[in-house]
Chains A and B, each alone.
Chain A
Amino acid sequence: MPQRPLSPHLGIYRFAYTMATSIAHRASGIVLSVGFLLLGWWLMAAAGDEADYALAVAVIGSGFGKLLLAGWLIAFCYHLCNGLRHLNWDLGRGLEKVEARRSATVVVVVSAALALAVVYAAFFAGVPR
């Protein structure tokens, strides 16, 4: 295998907050991938007997479980919003430095608001049909 040139390591870049949004996209993606394991377990428990489901409810409904759920909801809101930003880039739009910085701010604000609403609905309010 020939040694191909690689992109420069993270460490050499000057920090910019667009970089933080990029790192957070990966981090939230990893968090959501772990959540996929939980989804599988929850569905298996639902397909199983009462004891299986009671165990899943006990674990997910515990204080720590709720904390994890809130974390996943926040990661989801961010990954969704920043994912839409990525799809817009893929259309070749918004790639200028100024635009990318502005959209970074928009994503942080919108995803924070969305996360607040979803976490509030999930744990404190419920949603009207």
Chain B
Amino acid sequence: MSLRTPLGKVLGRGSAKQGVSHWWVQRTTAVALVPLTLWFVFQLLHLPTTDQFAVREWIASGVNPALLVLFIASIAYHSALGIQVVLEDYVPNKAVKLAALLANTFIHVVVAVVAGYAVLRIAFTTLAQG
């Protein structure tokens, strides 16, 4: 048994360098999403969205697949971090909070992968069809 206090144990060791990562990634994705969301909304306004063929053509054209994958990944990360903070703040029951945080992560990862897969599938099949 050590007689050192918990404070004494950690003094002078500096931080674990992990403390700001949540904060920092939230900001990084926020900066990325400024141009990406503006691009997406502006493109959507031009798109004949009821026409599946036109929507696929747009998704597959030029750098759009890459931009869409970046868009989806940035949203998923930014949204997961944001919802995480809300859950941590407003769910008082520890078990419910743990379950909600797990569900938050799973839902965001699943939606991001599904959406990214859909974009790539459209891009590659449209490419194959010429």
Chain B residues with Cβ below 8 Å from A32 are: 79
* CB–CB B83/A76 < 8 A: no
* CB–CB A44/B115 < 8 A: yes
Query: Which A residue's beta carbon lies closest to that of B40?
Result: A39
Number of A-B residue pairs at CB separation under 8 A: 83
Query: Which A residue's beta carbon lies closest to that of B115?
Result: A40
Check: A96 CB closer than 8 A to any chain B CB.
no
* CB–CB B27/A87 < 8 A: yes
Q: How large is the interface on A (under 10, 10 to 19, 20 to 34, 35 or more residues)?
A: 20 to 34
* CB–CB B76/A76 < 8 A: no
Task: Identify which of A14-22, A45-53, A103-111 touches chain B.
Answer: A45-53
A87 to chain B, nearest CB (A): 6
Q: Could you say which of B27, B49, B68 contacts A57, with CB atoms under 8 Å apart?
A: B49
* CB–CB A36/B76 < 8 A: yes
Tally of contact residues, B, Cβ under 8 A: 37
State the main secondary structure of chain B at its contact with A: helix
Q: Could you say which of A29, A57, A118, A121 contacts B50, with CB atoms under 8 Å apart?
A: A57
In the assembly, what is the distance between CA of A57 and CA of B27, in Å?
A: 34
Check: A93 CB closer than 8 A to any chain B CB.
no
* CB–CB B75/A36 < 8 A: yes
Check: B101 CB closer than 8 A to any chain A CB.
no
Q: Could you say which of B31, B52, B79 contacts A46, with CB atoms under 8 Å apart?
A: B52
* CB–CB B41/A73 < 8 A: yes
Check: B127 CB closer than 8 A to any chain A CB.
no
* CB–CB B50/A46 < 8 A: no
* CB–CB A76/B82 < 8 A: no
Check: B55 CB closer than 8 A to any chain A CB.
yes
Chain A residues with Cβ below 8 Å from B31 are: 87
Check: A67 CB closer than 8 A to any chain B CB.
no
